[in-house]
Structure 1
Amino acid sequence: MHVQVNETHLLSPFPDDAETAAYLPLPRRRVMARQRRGGCPLARLAAVFFIAYGMTAGGVLFGGLAAVLSRTPPVPFMLRLAEDLKYWAVMAAVGGTITALKSLEEGVFGGRPGELLKGLALLGAAFLGAALAAQHLAWALRDPTRG
């Protein structure tokens, strides 16, 4: 059997046609199959968690810098900002409001419970990351003399 290779196969490390993929070693074929299915679910959950955590923590820290530069008390400003940024960080981490809602809609009305569970898990990971960042910042910003 002769496999015809063109320039697109030379540029891409993951060929699309099954004939070329059949000549690849088994681990490489598994990677290609996982990429077609959307990647590793645990890696996506971890990415969503840390994106929400980083957006909340980074936004609050830079907001605290803005509060110092504008001569307002930074600690109350940062605590308020942490509560406000949590929800924005969740929506940004799951890819925007439309994709998250579409995923949940497919699960509920499309009869695909796997999509519903995946959407709920992503939202849960994002909420957990943002809430944990806000809690860590609240602990770091508390006054140690008050207890």
Structure 2
Amino acid sequence: MSAGDFWSTSVLNFCIALGVVLGGSTMGGVGAFFTNQPPLYVMDNLADQLKIWALVAALGGTFDTIKSFELHILGGELNQVFQQIFFILSAFIGAHIGTTLVRWLINGEW
């Protein structure tokens, strides 16, 4: 994997995870409004619950990542293992920032 592909994949993982949390909690808040539930409370809960699903969506499924770890560790390609770890971290950071932004928007605090 070239350096350009590495960084573009990292940015895509970050943005996908961020979008899943922001979009899912926003649309859930709209749905809560239409069903006479408190939208801000629902958005806060959904942001927490969607965090793990944002990671899975950004990584394209957890089994591919686990299989990649196995192949690269057994093959002695530790550089590829560190790349996979960085991809997971970039997706986690995107999901965490999404949750933080939702809380900041509905509560007015970080």
* TM-score calculated relative to the size of structure 2: 0.90
User: How far does residue 75 in structure 1 lie from its aligned partner after superposition?
Assistant: 1.1
User: How far does residue 38 in structure 1 lie from its aligned partner after superposition?
Assistant: 9.5
- Find the counterpart in structure 1 of residue 11 from structure 2: 46
**Looking at CA atoms only, which structure, 1 or 2, has the larger radius of gyration?**
1
Pick aligned residue for 2:100 from 122, 135, 143: 135
Give structure 2 stretches of 5+ with no counterpart.
Answer: none
- Find the counterpart in structure 2 of residue 96 from structure 1: 61
1:104 and 1:120 in contact (8 A); partners too: no
- Find the counterpart in structure 2 of residue 19 from structure 1: none
Q: CA 1:38–1:91 in structure 2 vs 1: closer, same or farther (change >3 Å)? A: farther
Deviations along 1:2-38, one digit per CA (max 9) or x if unpaired, are xxxxxxxxxxxxxxxxxxxxxxxxxxxxxxxx7xx69
- Find the counterpart in structure 2 of residue 110 from structure 1: 75
Larger % of helix: which?
A: 2
User: How far does residue 123 in structure 1 lie from its aligned partner after superposition?
Assistant: 0.3
Identity across aligned pairs (percent)? 31
Letter in 2 for 1:46: V
CA RMSD, aligned part only?
1.8
User: How far does residue 133 in structure 1 lie from its aligned partner after superposition?
Assistant: 0.5
Q: Does 1:80 align with 2:45?
A: yes
Q: CA 1:96–1:112 in structure 2 vs 1: closer, same or farther (change >3 Å)? A: same
- Find the counterpart in structure 2 of residue 13 from structure 1: none
Pick aligned residue for 1:59 from 8, 18, 24: 24
* TM-score calculated relative to the size of structure 1: 0.69
Give structure 1 stretches of 5+ with no counterpart.
Answer: 1-33
Higher relative contact order (CA 8 A, sep 6+): 2
